Structure formats: structure tokens, C-alpha cells
Chains A and B, each alone.
Chain A
Amino acid sequence: MARYLARRLATSLVVVIGISIVVFLLLNAMSGAPGRSVLGPSASPEAVDAFNHKEGFDRPVVVQYLSYVQGLVQGDLGRSYKLNQDVGELLAQNAGRSAMLSLAALLLALAVAVPLGIYQARRRNRRSDSAITAATFMLYASPQFFLAVVAIEIFSVQLQLLPAQASQSRSAFVIFTDPRAMLLPILTLAAANIAIFARYQRSAALDQLGQDYIKVARAKGVSERKIVRSHLLRNSSLPLITLVGVSVPALLAGNLVIESVFNYPGLGLLFINSLAREDYPVLLAYTLIGGVLTVLGNLIGDLLVAIVDPRIELS
């Protein structure tokens, strides 16, 4: 296991370095010297040149990259020239909130989708299965923006039960301190995941229900409850674990619409705004972190699968 982990981590490092080079080159290809975009149409050529010089964009790309890597090694992610803040500080301010929102929505989605999927599988092609399938398809097909606006209109404007925006506290733990304000964003974010996860779970559970070991258990008179808990749940969760592992990067970045509609500034919005502003230090840091999380997510997914299914060997 240790050797496996070491090898995976070493491979991951190479992948992350590759990502950093590709992203650096892509940004450079987009606009080698972003002064004109950053300062806008009103900037004089002298001001643009001064900006590009000050930020080092008039140096060769290789020199710029090496300088960036040198900073990275020292733990310096750079400074956002548009937001007037260190990138590390910006990420720290936003990452926790984004992660907590996503995590809460993810856990909620799993808590609902897994039993729902199993329930559907056990009642395959019955009315209840069809009704849930229709409902999950509707959720899946509804744009998140639409769901959010409808939820606000009903629960905030008409019924006035919940706030129209998420908590404005900067704490990452607002879910616990201000749960009422977080309810709509979490529910909206979880809705689409519930639909996806439930479909996966249903499909996997159907596969397992047809397996011999389930038939044997039934023939031996094992109760349905025990079959579900001890056999079906565990074995049908493997595809979902892989899916959740791949979803780890989205914990930070997948909330763009929710952050936008519910006025909940997080990493997703930071990235999009930085893209519009051509704020390269933020874009680079964000993409790198995304790369790291993707690699880690896959690794965690593989490890979890091996833990859940002892037949799988990590080598």
C-alpha cells in the first residue's frame, strides 16, 4: 500500500507540473501581456506598457514561468493585481466556504440518493419507481439557475420563510451558525446531485440484485433488510464511490451558479471573475489547485473502492 501510494503521489506531482506548464502557456497564448485588458479601453499605451513591465509580462515566457515556480516553491502563489490581495489569502478566504457548501450538499445528496436508488431498484418498473424516475429526470433536466430562482420566489418572496441570499458571514462554518440562510443554497445544489446519484445507485443496485450471491442469501432465508444492508448497499456503492471521488474538485469549483444567485462569494466565482479580468495569478493558482484536487480525488476514490471491495488489490 505504501509503495502504491508513493508511486501514485510521484505520478501526481508530474501531472501537476504538466498542468502548470500547459495552463501557463495557454494563458500566455490568450494574451501574453494583459495590460490592455486589465486597464480597459481607457488606458494609454504608456500606462499599458508600464503595467506589463511592472507585472513582468514583458519578460520571456520561460523566465516568467520559472519565476512563478520559484515563488510556488516558497509558498508564494503571487498577488492579484486586480483584487489587490495575495492569491493565497484570496483562496483561503473563499475555499472554506465553497467547500462547506459543496460538502453539505454532497452529503445531503448521498443521504437521499443512495436509499432512493436502492428503493427504486427493489421496486423496479412499479409505479413508485416510475414516479421517482420521472421526478429525478425533472430535477436533472432543470437548470440550477432556474431551480434557484424558483426556490427564492416561493420560499423567500411569496412565503417569506427563508432568506433570499445565503449567509453573509465569512466563516466557513455558517452552515452550523446560520443554517436557515444556507438551506436554500444547499437544497438547490443537492437537487441535481440527488438526481444523478439516484440514477447511478439504482442502476448499480439492479445489477447486484441479479447476482448469484443475492439469490443464495435469499435461498438461505436471510431477511431482505439484512440482504440490503450487508450485501446490496456495500456492493452497489462502488460506482458511486468512484463518482464521488471524481467530484472532489467540484467541491471547490462546482458552485458557480449557486454562488452567483445566492450571493455567496466562493472559489467558483473568483475563478470566473478572474478570467474576465485576466487576473493571471489567480487563474494559475486556481487551476493548479484544481489539478491537485483532481489527482487526489481519483486517488481517494481508488483507495475507497479497495477498502469497500477487498477483492481489489492496489499494486
Chain B
Amino acid sequence: MVRAGVALLLAGSLAACGGGGGNGKTPTVSGDKGFGSIPEAADTVQAGGTVDIALSPGLAPNYIYPNVPAVFNGTTVAPSQLWRPLYWRSTGATAAVNDELSIAEPPEYSSDRKTITIELKDSYTWSDGEPVVADDLVFSIELIRAALKEDASNWSYYTPGQFPDDLASVEATDEHTVTLTLTTAYNPGYFDAFVLGNLIPLPAHSWSKASDDGPIIDFRDPANAKATFDYLHKASQDQKSFATNPLWSVVNGPFKLKGFDSSTGGFTLVPNEEYSGPQAAQVDEVNYLPFTSPAAVFNQVRAGNLTVALLDSSYIDQLPTLESTGYNYYGMPKEGQVNSLFLNFENTTNNFDKMIAQPYLRQALQHLIDQPGYIKSKGIYNGAAAESYSPVSAASANAPGFGDKAPYPYSIETAKKLLEDHGWKVVDHGETTCVRPGAGDDQCGEGIPEGQKLSFNLFYANSPTSIAARNTAFIAAAKKVGITIESAAKATNFMYSNYDNNFAPENKDKWAVQDSGPINLGGYPTASLIWSTEGAYNAGHYSSEEADSLMNESISGEDPKALSNEATFLGKDLPVLYMPNPSNIVVWKKTLSGDPDAFANITQGFLTPEFWYYAG
């Protein structure tokens, strides 16, 4: 549900499904937070040519079956370019559904929202000439069910208790219509994003078998579905045969796999001549090239050897140079990303739980974070980030009520006043202590004793460097009002494993604040899983009845504004301390043109190379 948060890079995008193109000559961007520019599409098209794209360092593909298990999320071979998802959840740099690129008409929900009717467009065919039909979607869902019966990690987008656990029935009611009947009612926005957006019709007429030479079997029989899943999963482990196995040659996307290098994960796509969708591929080949490091990617861009690449933000100073040598560039933060300081509401060390439970204290801490300053700072983001005060961006259709205005803007004075108004004696650059204990409005708060010092620890991920830099700035600001923060860098994996009260409850008194980098909540960024009281990934056990109610409405209610209401509350209640969202920076050769959306969407982890062409 919370998708590959750390994998901002190209390979991650390949697993996440496609997005892009088709609706205009100017880029669709989230407000004015992007930087760089995307030129209009060139009028003259030079057909053919080869595009070389950099794969994300360390994330080269090694799996191909498109209903991807969690362990391979982010390392699957271009699923959206080979197999089209039901709904294309990206339009330029926004997370809006792109109707043109979706292979189904918008879903219809019954009045109780428990029956969903999906009509597949009748124009799509598989590369072997067979039509894409309702059974292909049913087949895919049955495979997901079979996979999850074996192992809860076998489908990356699975949330226990939700789809497909609550799927009462799935039926192909005619050749192109599928009806899902659920035992649970969902908010359509949530179900569209987290379930329908991740479903991919698969070629039942070709894949519904248990061995290479076996007969086509009835996938509605759970035993057959299990046998088929096992067969496809096993075939997906033989990387050397990815490009030669006839299974993977049956596609309905604009490309097919020409070559795959099992030793590096590099691969080549060529146009699917039988593609029946809205935009056929215009270049002859797209090479996805493996890279060992961001430096190696940059070196190849610098030498002019790559057509398209995502650059590490540390190279932002080099963008003007690259522009002068023939590259366009564009940057934009990823939608639905939480990039914040997580708080531990259960850490009893030095009464941190009592202190952080006080809303005024969280507000004071948020006032100490200079988001605009961090973004401008050469040593932190150097301009390549956007302010962020809730999981939903200000430019989203579900934007919080406060828009792009910071609820608690940077102000040392305001932070100081908040503390003093609540019974703390603030000693600038010293030790601020509680002098008025008690639960009254002008007192420190329940459980905070007289003489309590405002000090706690903060662990942050050792990469990227912007994380260390922003925390250094925050700690310095805190010291100005007498708050002492002891910090240390840790490996991200170590933090995942050790600083989470669900997974490592024995360590709950060891960490107070942590910054482990971004978590991506997807195109409909409800924070239920990370901040609801029972949230599976609620690392610091934040709990608020009102937040729970609003998040529940985002998931199960029918109010289309539910997500906006949730974001507004969470932006003000501060389950975390919000930090800026760094931009993803894409560069591409000026000779490569196409719909601006098809370049803007790369920053969001979606690729639509079929819209690219060389200018004549």
C-alpha cells in the first residue's frame, strides 16, 4: 500500500506502472514547484532512432512477472510498457488518472460502493492478435489471490484485510466487462488508486497453464491458479530467458522486450508492431542501461552519451553546464511523499512521550524548521525541493485546506513564545526547563515535572547528504531556544529494523525522533497505514481519534473531499515534523522531443517513451 518509498529512481518507476502523455503542449506541473523547463513538442518528427536511458544505480531489474512480489518492487522489467495497467495514474507531473492511456473506462460504483463495474476498452489486443478481454483481468486477480494464499509478500500492493481478502466475487459479465463484488465499501478515490490502479490484465489465453508445454487450464479453479502462479513465478526467476521465453513476448503495451542482460539488468525494448493503444512507439529502440553509481550516470551525461537520465540532486549545480551542452532539465518532487521527522510518542526516556504529546510543543518544533531556507541553502537542497506541510501537495486535487501556506512557518520567536506561554523557562543556547508543571493551559503539560529539560535524541539516515544537512540546521535552530538534540547518523536499513515500535518494540525507549528519508504514499496519499492508531507502519505510535476518523473516511467513506480533510488535520496536528520534499531531476537531450507530459512524468516515476521522438 505504501509503495516503494525509497525507490525514486527509474527502475522503481518501471514497477509502479506508466503514466504520461497526451494532453497538451505545456507540462502539467504541481503548482509552481518545478524548476527547469520542458519545451513544447517539436512539429517535425524524425521517425526511428535509439534512446538510451539510465537505469537507477543499484536498482536494475531482475524480475518480469508483472504482478510483482514485494521483494522485487522497483526491480521489475518495464511492466507498464509491456503490459498496460487498467488505469494510468499519471498525467504529466500530477497523479491524476489519464483516461486516454487507461485500458478501461472509468469504473462505476454501486450506491453501496461494494459492487464495482469495470469495462475494458474493446480496442486493445495482445501482440499475438487475441483481443484483451474481461477474462484477462479476472485471470490476473485470480493469480494475485493464489499468490497471496502462498505468501503475504507475494503481491507488492497487498494490505492484509483489504483487497483481495474482501473480494466476494469477480466475474466477467460480458466479453469486456468485469464486476467486482466486495464485502467492504471503499472510498472510490482510495480503491481507484490502491487497487484498480495496480491491476494489470494478463493474457489468460497464453499464460493460464502450469508448464511450458502444458494445456491451457481453468484459472477459476484455485488449484490451477496456484499452479499457474508458481509456473510464472519460476519462469520469472530465469533471467537468462526473459527475452526469449515465449511467455513474455505476449504483451499489450507499446513495446516488447528485445534483449535482457541477466548479469547487469540492462534491457532493450522495441516497438510492439501489434500495439493497438493511442500512441505507438516512434523510436526504433529504447535501451535501459545499468549504472553502478549516480556519479557514473552523471559522467555519461556529461560526455553526452545518454539520452534520458535521472540525476542525483547533488549535481544540481551542473545543470546549466549540461543545458549548454545540449540537455533539457526539469525537476519536481514526487507526489504523495512524506519526507519528515518521525516522532516516537511512546518513548518514556526523559519523559519524551509526555512532552511530544503536547500539541504546542510539536508546533514549536515545527516553527524551528526553516523549509524555505533549507530549500534555498546551497548546502541542503540548492533549490531542488518544495515546501511540504502534509502528505498531500498544495497543487493536488486533494490539497489541504491551508493550501501552500505553512500552518507553522519558521519563526524562532514564535517557537520561543509558545514554550514560554506553556510554562517553560527558555534559555537561549542554554537549557530550557519546565518551571510551571501541570496540565493547565499555561503549564508544561500532564506528566512533565518541574525542572524537566527539553532534550532528546534524533537519528537520521546516512544518505543522502541533504538529510544530515537539514537535521544539522534544525538542531542548530533548536539550540537557539535551549532545546538540546543529540543526533547520530544510521544506516537506513538499520533504522527500518530497529526504530519502529511495531517491529522492534524493545527499542521504543531508544529513539525519540528519526529521519529515515521518504515514504511514498502513492497517488491517493491517505496516511492511514503510517499514522492511524492501528496503522501497520505507525513507527512512533501516533494516535488521534479525530485523525483515525478522518483517515477511515478517506478509505471507507464516500466524501470525495475526505482526503483533503485528512490532510488538513494532519498538517495541523503534526504527527511528524514536516520537511521539504526533494525534487527528482530529469535531463534529456534537446534533440529528443515529444509531449511535455512525457518528460514531466519521469519525475513522478512514470515512463511513456512511446511519446518520445527525435525532432526532424
Contacts and interface: CB of A to CB of B under 8 A. Distances in A.
B502 interface: yes
Nearest to A30: B494
B300 A47 contact: no
Contacts of A81: 71
B536 interface: yes
A145 B293 CA distance: 12
Contacts of A39: 70-71, 153
Interface in B520-574: 520, 536-537
A151 to B, nearest CB: 10
B295 A261 contact: yes
B263 to A, nearest CB: 4
A56 interface: no
A264 B292 contact: yes
Interface string A148-181: 0100110011001001110010100000000000
Nearest to B493: A37
Interface in A37-68: 37-51, 54
B163 to A, nearest CB: 13
Interface in B258-303: 261-264, 266, 289-293, 295-296, 299-300, 302-303
Contacts of A84: 62-63, 72, 75, 236-237, 239
B303 A156 contact: yes
B503 A45 contact: yes
A164 B1 CA distance: 40
Contacts of A94: 263
Contacts of A218: none
B516 A269 contact: no
B537 A42 contact: yes
B52 to A, nearest CB: 11
Contacts of B330: none
A83 to B, nearest CB: 5
Contacts of B2: 41-42
Interface residues of A, number: 52
Contacts of B63: 84
Given A36-B496, A37-B496, A51-B71, A261 B536 contact: no
B263 A93 contact: yes
A314 to B, nearest CB: 41
Contacts of A44: 1, 152, 158-160, 536-537
Contact of B153 (A50, A157, A164): A50
B340 to A, nearest CB: 13
B295 A45 contact: no
A42 B3 contact: yes
B292 A31 contact: no
A265 B519 contact: no
Contact of A165 (B4, B73, B239, B296): B296
B6 interface: yes
Given A31-B497, A41-B537, A85-B262, A164 B292 contact: no
Contacts of B403: none
Contacts of B159: 44
Contact of B70 (A47, A83, A276): A47
Interface string A258-294: 0111111100010001001110000000000000000
B496 A164 contact: no
Given A42-B5, A42-B537, A45-B536, A263 B71 contact: no
Contacts of B239: 84-85
Contact of A82 (B71, B293, B502): B71
Contacts of B62: 83-85
B292 to A, nearest CB: 5
A34 interface: yes
B151 A54 contact: yes
Contacts of B293: 260-261, 263
A273 B58 CA distance: 7
B490 to A, nearest CB: 12
B497 A37 contact: yes
B58 A276 contact: yes
Contacts of B6: 40-41
B522 to A, nearest CB: 10
Interface string B298-318: 011011010000000000000
A300 B262 CA distance: 35
A48 B497 CA distance: 11
Contacts of A30: 494
B299 A152 contact: yes
A278 to B, nearest CB: 6
Interface in B102-149: none
Contacts of B295: 145, 149, 260-261
B500 interface: yes
A156 B516 CA distance: 37
Contact of B302 (A35, A48, A164): A164
Contacts of B263: 93-94, 170, 265
A149 B153 CA distance: 41
Contacts of A38: 71
Given A85-B239, A93-B263, A260-B292, A43 B153 contact: yes
14 contacts: A37-B497, A40-B70, A41-B496, A41-B537, A42-B70, A42-B520, A45-B503, A47-B153, A49-B152, A85-B239, A261-B293, A263-B291, A273-B58, A276-B491
Given A50-B152, A157-B303, 7 more contacts: A41-B519, A44-B158, A48-B153, A51-B70, A164-B300, A261-B292, A278-B493
Interface of B: 1-6, 58, 62-63, 70-73, 75, 151-154, 158-160, 236-237, 239, 261-264, 266, 289-293, 295-296, 299-300, 302-303, 305, 491, 493-494, 496-497, 500, 502-503, 516, 519-520, 536-537
Nearest 8 CB-CB pairings of A with B = A47-B153, A263-B296, A37-B493, A46-B152, A164-B303, A42-B2, A260-B293, A84-B62
